[in-house]
Structure 1
């Protein structure tokens, strides 16, 4: 058998004359001679630390000689000369076993070409498995600990977020668009319309591609926007699990910075859920037979529908009903009253101006808060530089203020976008109201799909409690679907008509 000698002697041993390369070479040759083997190569790692030898140039040459069949085994004085850490020893043993090469250690009387020596491979293999399991347990313990702390544990983050120092934080460049997606859906209630509007405004996805209704749907339904990030729910796709989804019991939910309020997220996903459960999702709304299906609700939130051969919208749960022709007349009457009533138009414009002023006040407040926080941050830096705040404790004081400033700046961008929408709505009000009035004047000449389109164009919601009916008009009164202000005053304009 052709063998090689693997020699490693520390620099200190050579300096103290307690060991030498020549001694190990001579010893190895004598051992090979006693077994009738031929020494055809010597791999000299003199002076190399035993902490790591596997990447040394002579070690790589040894591996290559084994691969090409130049040598069939290696003689070493002891296992400690090969490697001093278990990890590398396991790598050596696996390589020798995979290439059917012998590992001979003189001190340990180990020869893996014998049956007793092969048992050594079995022990090392068991040790390797044990090491992997211990490493895995440590990794899982670390992951679980990070999850409890709400730390990022790997994976992708959705549009509007990014990873900074292994933490999930808001991506200030993407966040306004992500928030806009929810606002657009509340306005139009169509995934494709939202995607079309985003593309029209020049926005693209993170990959630089146009928006699609599929992407919009995924982002709208993702809970991270309201501050709950789902993770640990996927695994590699396999024949046994073609979807790659883990059992729901293994899914984890971690807190993260919220982009929108939980109330707005719930409102959006209630609409999506209703669309998916009913036939609203199965065909375009403007092709529906009945004008107000999907918009008419009772005061408890149930949808009123028309059953086959019936002329009434009914709520099964509350036992309420209203004739479809009566509702159409009421809708037209209410629309006309709004459009031709100077008092109501003035009230709308007044309300719109109030909304704009409130938004400007919020922006001014946010800007002032940001300036104050920036001043505090500068003061903290000065104190740190002067030594009054030690570097070790600086982060504790600095980070909360910095994060608050970041959140305020993100909120400020959203407020500025909302202000722009209010101003645009005010400037386009005359055009929109004129269009709505045109619908009213031509109503009797419109076919069913055109009437449905008119309802979609101006209606956000119609609420009926058995006696009163509330029309929440969407485009001619854009503030009708906004939330309450922080001082508790209602911002929305609710149009009320009493059914007699």
Structure 2
């Protein structure tokens, strides 16, 4: 047989060629819809119809509701090049489950002079007028089947919620789940009631409540049940933030609402009957006291710390907070964070004035002359762009190798068992490279966005340059948040090691005295 550079165009012009398209999503990995079953049936059907199979396009694990599928993209591109005259599918919903998407794909194929035929639905044949009419009906039912299942699931969840069923998630402190419903857990319910009383009747802050709970040795739910937060171990102590979430949770007065976390813009909220643990009068009194506590805290926040929220401990990972003339790790200073002395962090304090002076010197120098720092970073060639190019060329080479393998098999150059073994290996490598290409593209996009952000820093410099020495402490703090990506503090040999990461592409090591 005469060969050409294009393995798919080397067929005899007298034989019409077809393409096979197969797809399964994760939940459809069953025998009748498996990729192998679809391909086997379609291959035999193509022979009966008198077509030669030009290529098989397979999308494993992709939803029929999405258009962005690797094999489908290649199929449409090959259709434009006239590599086949018809596409064979096992069912229409293998191609698309959305009416609009199905029609869009079929119209794009028709513009290329390519028809569509379905094995399981003989009337779907876009080369005939009756087939086009039936197509619309079948596409509607494919989408209807999918949407009906989703709607039934949603209605079932809402019905269960109205009946008082607890539909999963973290069980609120003070409750347990019995027969699928929230029920009071006596030993924890008493703690919840005491927490509300401490705040409403004694005026305690959330920090004071947490300290008392830790002093009394009352374990939080995570420690009592031996669980962690997002898979990570915790110190197993009460903190002010956790206390505040309990005091703000209206579930404790029987007002639990299901549906707030749905992605729909106007979610359907369902009130779920829950046994209350706290009287409404006590709950509202606690809310009023929390508001007074917050106002008092604001009035006493006299000092403005330049690096507030930007410093992390290199030993325990906790935040550094301002305290008088120092920044200190909360894992060392806050008894609530580490109530057991042996568990407290030993990271050193950092002299506030010295650290702030050094960092503001760097910020001021950048704002007065940003050109050199920015230009060096912006002109730096991004390795991600080269990586994407190399991976795309590798992917193209694998796709061409797969096409050549198919050509060789159809010409009788390799046995069936050898063909399938080599095809499986190629498909595995193609999927691996496709994942790598997508990851490299995402890194490239992130790099480009960062460079665009750097350009915006030039605008910030232009706005502040003339009054850089007249900024208020609050304005300096805001500028530091814009330009400092993060600060890490670690103990060094006889001194404190501080690493400052700036958003204008510099990492500045500092050393200083600590305690």
Superposition TM-score tier, normalisation by shorter sequence: 0.3 to 0.5
- The alignment's TM-score, normalised by the length of structure 1, stands at 0.38
- The alignment's TM-score, normalised by the length of structure 2, stands at 0.37
Larger radius of gyration: 1
Q: Which structure ranks higher in relative contact order (CA pairs < 8 Å, sequence separation ≥ 6)?
A: 2
